[in-house]
Structure 1
Amino acid sequence: MPPPPPEKEKRHLARLCDLVSSSLLLHLEYGSSPPRQLTPKEERHLLLALSTVNKTIRRWDLEEERGCQLDQEIVSGSGELYSCCLLPEEHPHDGVDCLTNIVTILVGLLGFCSNYVKHSASNILITISSTLTKFESIWIEFIELVWVSIHEALKCVCNALRSTTDSKSDGIASSNSSITSFMTLLNNHCLGIDEQTMSSLFRVLHAILKFLKHSDSDLKDEFISLSIHHIGKMPWDSFHRLHAGELVSCAKDRFSFCNDSAQSRVLTGRLLQLLCSLLEQSYLELESTDGQDMFVKLVDIVPKIAASLQEQHDGPKSLYQYLKHKILMVMMRIRPYIQQDCSHIVCWLKLLRQYFQDLLHEPISQHSVQQDNCLEGSPFLLSMADLVESEDKSTRHLQRQAIYLFLSLSIRLSYSRNDGTLQCSCKRDECLLGHKVHGCNDHCNCFGLSEISDWFQRCYIDVSFDSKSLTCFALSFLEFYMEEDDMLFSILLQLLDAPLIFLKVANTGTTELSGVKLFLSIFDPVHIFHQLLFLLHYDHMVLIDYLISKDVGVHCAQYLLRCLRLVSQSWHSFVDDSVYLTEIEKLECKRQRTSRDISSARASSSKEHKNGYGCDKEANISQKLFFKAKACLYSLKRTLEDLQKKGLFPYNPKPLLRSLARFEELCEQR
């Protein structure tokens, strides 16, 4: 039980309680049996009352900021002058009973079948949160009560489902007497909690978090911790059944749930929206162990939320795309926290295969806008092109996220089997995160390699099987990610780990890994570095722009440092880039192909090499690539030195300058 609040806080709560109770409590009598309908006249009166309450609270805050004193008739701390419906003998006046009354009345109003009423009542909850932030303990209790309201709504679903087990919200209710009394009063006020009520409460929490972020409040971390704790305690089995439509009528319950698939999609969207905001990068950079452990708890929740996509597929395409986008964002943001157990990685890879296979196997080449049905010069031509382009950009953004996440997980799983950083619990014969994984303790890295091989061969099937076309495939892959700078350097940093995988499969002759061998040869980091400079037209100022960018500067610097280190270790390969084409040709010869096109490409390539023309041409191209890359990196070094001398570079570039100086030494020695 928290200590009683000071007199100032009690007076403030009494004032709010008096306002909310006197203005809104009477309206809860409308439509006492669910669904809670309002006549047009009742709706107008209620909306007017809600607007008045919201404006009054905001006016009080402005007056307090200007130093105005509270009216003497409402500043008494005795608790006798406010209109709380709780009897004094039931709860001593410590301020918590006022807070209980305020929240239950407003949550009760969310049960009306009026979107305007729901929106207005939600706005009052947001305003009350803002005015309570100056009283930390009371504000935390307020957020706790909002979450308990969500738990109680989901508990209602549990009671309405077949084969229901006890809800975790029961444990919350019994934790202290104030929560128990809150839920008792909530049951009296909320006669029609439904999916829209929970959606409204998630909207309230999301808006509160945005306010805390904008105001840079110290309560932000407390809100995140509290929210993640309650998200982890939600009854996800019931949440999934809600989307699957496994509801039964329960006459004895006073609650009513409308099994509306559209509303369930909105509910999932609201939850994902809140979860994405909780997982923003600035929040994830917590140094404390407790902070890290807090986000690890969310790893198990992702498959449970993703399961709802199976029931959402037949809904509106735009909403389905939105849900997939949000789930991918959640997965990407908590990806670093799944590296402690490879069973989590295996599970996530299966999730990507199950729900995002269409994105993973979509061609990465640019989509063309089809305008066959439009006459040239038609006024509708531009609008249709814009619409198709907008949808195309959205799909490609999702595809970039899905492929990055897939490759990140697969590469991580492939090379980390024996380095001690991963623990494997897959050998247990149990349902892990909703997926059966039998005895894969000795085969986790092979699972990752197989996933890479399968993905690459599916993407590779439309590519001509010769080294030149494969180089174009790698260029297309880079161009695909260059449309979004932050994703570009994230995927480039991930591909730098490819040599670690190659060491594991270099001596393996198995057929199923031939695809991954070819993938790793094509995406050799030094070769990719050459291709990146080529796509940037060897313009060192583009690299400068990347380095000083607030969004990608750190990742770009990390990438350049690691690449320059690899270049110094593989100098001959960097100077003579044709070595990669030779390696690809060697691997291609090992693949058994029956296509006539492949045979013809091989014959043509072989003929060129016999005449010596192919080798000379590749050598000349390789020399040109080296000299252009050399000039670009020399210019980058000089520009960085000039910016450093003038104090115009945003951070210390000395590590990068040392690497560039080492590169220059190697060039001079050559």
Structure 2
Amino acid sequence: MAPPPEWQKRRLTRLCDLVAASLLPHLEAETLPPRQLTREDERRLLLVLSKVNKAILGWSQEEEEEEQRRCESDQEIFSCSGEVHSCSLPPGQHPHDGFGCLANVVSILVGVLGFCSGYVKHSAGNVLVSISSTLIKFDSIWIQFIELVWAAIHAESKCVHNALHSTTDSNNEDITSSSTSITSFMTVLNERCLDISEQTMSSLFRVLHAILKFLKHSDSELKDDFICLSIHHIQNMPSVTFHPLHTGEIVNRVKDSRFGFCNDSLHSGILTGSLLQLLCSLLEQSYLEGTDGQDMYVKLVDIVPKIAASLQEQHDGSKSLYQYLKHKILMVMMRLKPYMQQDCSRIVCYLKLLRQYFHDLLHEPISQHIAKLDNCLEGSPFLLNMVDLVESQDKSTRHLQRQAIYLFLSFSICLSYNRNDGTLQCSCKRDDCLLGHKVQGCSDHCSCSGLSEISDWFQRCYLDMSFDSKSSTDIALSFLALYMEEDDMLFSILLQLFDAPHIFLKIDSMNSTELIGAKLFSSIFDPVHLFHLLLLLLHYDHMVLVDYLISKDVGVHCAQYLLRCLRLVSQSWHAFVDDSMYLTKIEKIDCKRQRTSRDISSARASSSKEYKNGSGCDKEAKNSQKLFLDAKVCLYSLKRTVEDLQKKGLFPYNPKPLLRSLARFEELCEQG
């Protein structure tokens, strides 16, 4: 049951008195920005903020019950219009609806966030989060509080009226503040000379992120309202907010010694990082569900290119901040991916974005992740040194590479495998001719674009390689090894690669003599062969697969992957039993590629000779048979273990579909 209005006013007046009495004197002592603090002033202000925060958190349930009893006994409750309480607002800014208290509290704390002290900003942010927690039971008041925080953010971009006016138009009148009230709040900020800087905006984004975390953990019904409001405000933020330093401004600031460009660039990067952190949390898949939620998330798709443009000014700055921004942008793109795959024009846009800002990650060799040294004895000092070297590689770079390649392949395959069945809509501009092919429509153009992207990427990464049976397997192994460092991404990319064979068919249907790189990609990443290699990398340990299946994070994706693999194996049984069919296909495609090349390496000629004289064929046949036998033993063991766990009631979900697929696999093995 919602508290009575009198109780709401009492809570607001109490907050207003506490914050104004404790913090306003510190704010009025330093009226003009930048607000510098001596060490002693900083210490005193931190003590005051700590006391304010403890006081708000200390309003216990007994105190609330006492206030409830006072309301029931008709005892007078002081409000903003009474003589006892004063909001300490500037003259002429005394609304009588309780909103004045809220505006006063938020404006004072926003002013405290303007002090040049990271400790003070952090403590003031904690107070705002505590205020959110104490107001959350008053739905409409709490939403007004969130709107005021966003109003302060918009104040920096000078676009408050447009952003907040459209909020009032697009939301229910019950949960939004009137434009008059917002204007009144902005007047308070101006009259108190509160200049909202990038650092203040960063702090406010972190406050909103902390509030969202609280809503998530408390499972509050207001979570959806918070997400909708936040998405709307982010959507209405102008581009200048994301990357405020344009070329002309940079030149002027470098010439003017009063400004520190490095600091400006750093603050701009921190601001972008804070916004991206909030965006990632807003895009958690478990938050908004259903059609309305999807429509809300789709609105954010066009924001990412604006934010990504800020990477340009961060390139020569702090490496850790640059890496963080790239990681967060890739994470936002990954979480937006399900909401953009119906419009190939947006996919094309994101592919261009990946090429522009993440090309170094896309074209970094994957083969460096092979942790196999054939010429080293096990346990030798040389091997140990090499292992240490591999371990000391930049793990953050590998993580970013996994994300970038996953997105690139997902988008490219989605475009390439456009089946003209109406699932993809497109509004992108098309050229009259692409790669020598006359295209008949936008969907054909996008298919060619996706195929071209894959072909270009694969040839740039492996242009100088000759794809004999060993090198093609090494490429696939190194690719899997790259993703095995992160289980969740491993099964996501494996599921995506189930569409790889369709690329080969698509190129054949176009009668294309180009796109050899895409054909090689499609064949090397054949799902049946990848299944063999995955089991090989797991050392055929069926218990590792069991751990994947019962994992809370990847269990569903692993089960989905195994089901699709087993279904594909039953449809392509001979290819699974005799893996040399896969290797022969690679040889044929590479021969076509080599014939179009001007320079055929001697290494390739030597390899071909060995393969043709019979010794290579015999070796591959033995390896192929061993792959099948080891996979057979592993999957038999997996079936028995899952059956035992099911009988004991220890399997976390119904494994019957998986057991049926494993039983079918066993039948095929027995049939020979």
Q: Give the TM-score normalised by the residue count of structure 2.
A: 0.87
Pairwise CA RMSD: 3.3
Distance 1:464 1:151 in 2: 56
- In structure 1, what is the equivalent of residue 238 of structure 2? 235
- In structure 2, what is the equivalent of residue 372 of structure 1? none
- In structure 2, what is the equivalent of residue 668 of structure 1? 670
- In structure 1, what is the equivalent of residue 362 of structure 2? 360
The one-letter code sitting in structure 2 at the alignment partner of 1:15 is R
- In structure 1, what is the equivalent of residue 141 of structure 2? 138
The one-letter code sitting in structure 1 at the alignment partner of 2:185 is F
- In structure 1, what is the equivalent of residue 525 of structure 2? 523
- Kindly state the Cα deviation for residue 85 of structure 1 after the two structures are TM-superposed: 2.6
Task: Quickly say closer, same or farther: Cα 1:361–1:109, change in 2 above 3 A.
Answer: same
Distance 1:660 1:399 in 2: 34
Task: Quickly say closer, same or farther: Cα 1:534–1:93, change in 2 above 3 A.
Answer: same
- CA deviation vs aligned residue, 1:471-516 (integer Å, no higher than 9, x gap): 1111111111111111110110000111222221124454531010
CA contact (8 A) 1:243 1:308 kept: no
- Kindly state the Cα deviation for residue 90 of structure 1 after the two structures are TM-superposed: 5.8
Distance 1:608 1:123 in 2: 69
The one-letter code sitting in structure 2 at the alignment partner of 1:547 is L
Task: Quickly say closer, same or farther: Cα 1:230–1:394, change in 2 above 3 A.
Answer: same
SS in 1 for 2:650: coil
Distance 2:41 2:544 in 1: 62
- CA deviation vs aligned residue, 1:499-550 (integer Å, no higher than 9, x gap): 2222211244545310100111111111111111111122211111110011
- CA deviation vs aligned residue, 1:12-65 (integer Å, no higher than 9, x gap): 101111111222223222232222334445444433332222222122246537
- In structure 2, what is the equivalent of residue 482 of structure 1? 484
Answering whether residue 192 of structure 2 is matched by residue 189 of structure 1, we say: yes
- In structure 2, what is the equivalent of residue 113 of structure 1? 116
Match of 1:265 among 250, 266, 269: 269
- CA deviation vs aligned residue, 1:266-288 (integer Å, no higher than 9, x gap): 111111111111112322xx432
Distance 1:510 1:599 in 2: 28
The one-letter code sitting in structure 2 at the alignment partner of 1:277 is S
- CA deviation vs aligned residue, 1:570-599 (integer Å, no higher than 9, x gap): 111111110010101111111135577635
- In structure 2, what is the equivalent of residue 543 of structure 1? 545
Answering whether residue 104 of structure 2 is matched by residue 101 of structure 1, we say: yes
Answering whether residue 281 of structure 2 is matched by residue 282 of structure 1, we say: no
Structure-to-structure mapping, 1:432-511, within 5 angstroms: 442-461=444-463, 463-508=465-510, 510-511=512-513
Answering whether residue 121 of structure 2 is matched by residue 122 of structure 1, we say: no
- In structure 2, what is the equivalent of residue 375 of structure 1? none
Answering whether residue 35 of structure 2 is matched by residue 31 of structure 1, we say: no
Distance 1:411 1:622 in 2: 29
- Kindly state the Cα deviation for residue 89 of structure 1 after the two structures are TM-superposed: 8.1
Distance 1:246 1:337 in 2: 36
- CA deviation vs aligned residue, 1:63-120 (integer Å, no higher than 9, x gap): 5378688999994346432230348986553222211111111112222223333222
- Kindly state the Cα deviation for residue 191 of structure 1 after the two structures are TM-superposed: 2.8
Answering whether residue 182 of structure 2 is matched by residue 179 of structure 1, we say: yes
Distance 2:88 2:4 in 1: 20
Match of 1:626 among 625, 628, 641: 628
Distance 2:197 2:499 in 1: 49
- In structure 1, what is the equivalent of residue 174 of structure 2? none
Task: Quickly say closer, same or farther: Cα 1:117–1:617, change in 2 above 3 A.
Answer: closer
CA contact (8 A) 2:495 2:561 kept: yes
CA contact (8 A) 2:242 2:272 kept: no
Task: Quickly say closer, same or farther: Cα 1:571–1:562, change in 2 above 3 A.
Answer: same
- In structure 2, what is the equivalent of residue 556 of structure 1? 558
SS in 1 for 2:286: helix
Answering whether residue 241 of structure 2 is matched by residue 209 of structure 1, we say: no
Match of 1:349 among 351, 354, 357: 351
Task: Quickly say closer, same or farther: Cα 1:171–1:565, change in 2 above 3 A.
Answer: closer
Can you give the 5+ residue segments of structure 2 that lack an aligned partner in the other structure? 170-177, 254-258, 372-383, 432-440
CA contact (8 A) 1:573 1:579 kept: yes
Task: Quickly say closer, same or farther: Cα 1:628–1:148, change in 2 above 3 A.
Answer: same
Task: Quickly say closer, same or farther: Cα 1:257–1:473, change in 2 above 3 A.
Answer: closer
- Higher mean alpha-carbon deviation, 645-654 vs 235-244, is at 235-244
- Kindly state the Cα deviation for residue 349 of structure 1 after the two structures are TM-superposed: 0.5
- Kindly state the Cα deviation for residue 307 of structure 1 after the two structures are TM-superposed: 0.6
CA contact (8 A) 2:31 2:193 kept: no
Task: Quickly say closer, same or farther: Cα 1:70–1:26, change in 2 above 3 A.
Answer: farther
Task: Quickly say closer, same or farther: Cα 1:343–1:608, change in 2 above 3 A.
Answer: closer
- Higher mean alpha-carbon deviation, 393-402 vs 184-193, is at 184-193
The one-letter code sitting in structure 1 at the alignment partner of 2:264 is D
- In structure 2, what is the equivalent of residue 308 of structure 1? 310
Distance 1:281 1:387 in 2: 37
- Kindly state the Cα deviation for residue 651 of structure 1 after the two structures are TM-superposed: 0.2
Task: Quickly say closer, same or farther: Cα 1:8–1:62, change in 2 above 3 A.
Answer: closer
- In structure 1, what is the equivalent of residue 229 of structure 2? 226
SS in 2 for 1:198: helix
Can you give the 5+ residue segments of structure 1 that lack an aligned partner in the other structure? 159-165, 251-255, 370-381, 430-438
CA contact (8 A) 2:152 2:196 kept: no
SS in 2 for 1:420: coil
The one-letter code sitting in structure 1 at the alignment partner of 2:278 is L
Distance 2:9 2:76 in 1: 11
- In structure 2, what is the equivalent of residue 21 of structure 1? 20
Answering whether residue 133 of structure 2 is matched by residue 150 of structure 1, we say: no
Q: How many residues end up aligned between the 2 structures?
A: 631
Distance 1:386 1:220 in 2: 46
- In structure 2, what is the equivalent of residue 434 of structure 1? none
- Kindly state the Cα deviation for residue 167 of structure 1 after the two structures are TM-superposed: 5.8
The one-letter code sitting in structure 2 at the alignment partner of 1:59 is G
Distance 1:669 1:454 in 2: 43
The one-letter code sitting in structure 1 at the alignment partner of 2:492 is S
Distance 1:421 1:617 in 2: 46
Task: Quickly say closer, same or farther: Cα 1:390–1:274, change in 2 above 3 A.
Answer: farther
Match of 1:656 among 644, 647, 658: 658
SS in 2 for 1:32: coil
- Higher mean alpha-carbon deviation, 225-234 vs 77-86, is at 77-86
The one-letter code sitting in structure 2 at the alignment partner of 1:35 is P
Task: Quickly say closer, same or farther: Cα 1:536–1:91, change in 2 above 3 A.
Answer: same
CA contact (8 A) 1:637 1:660 kept: yes
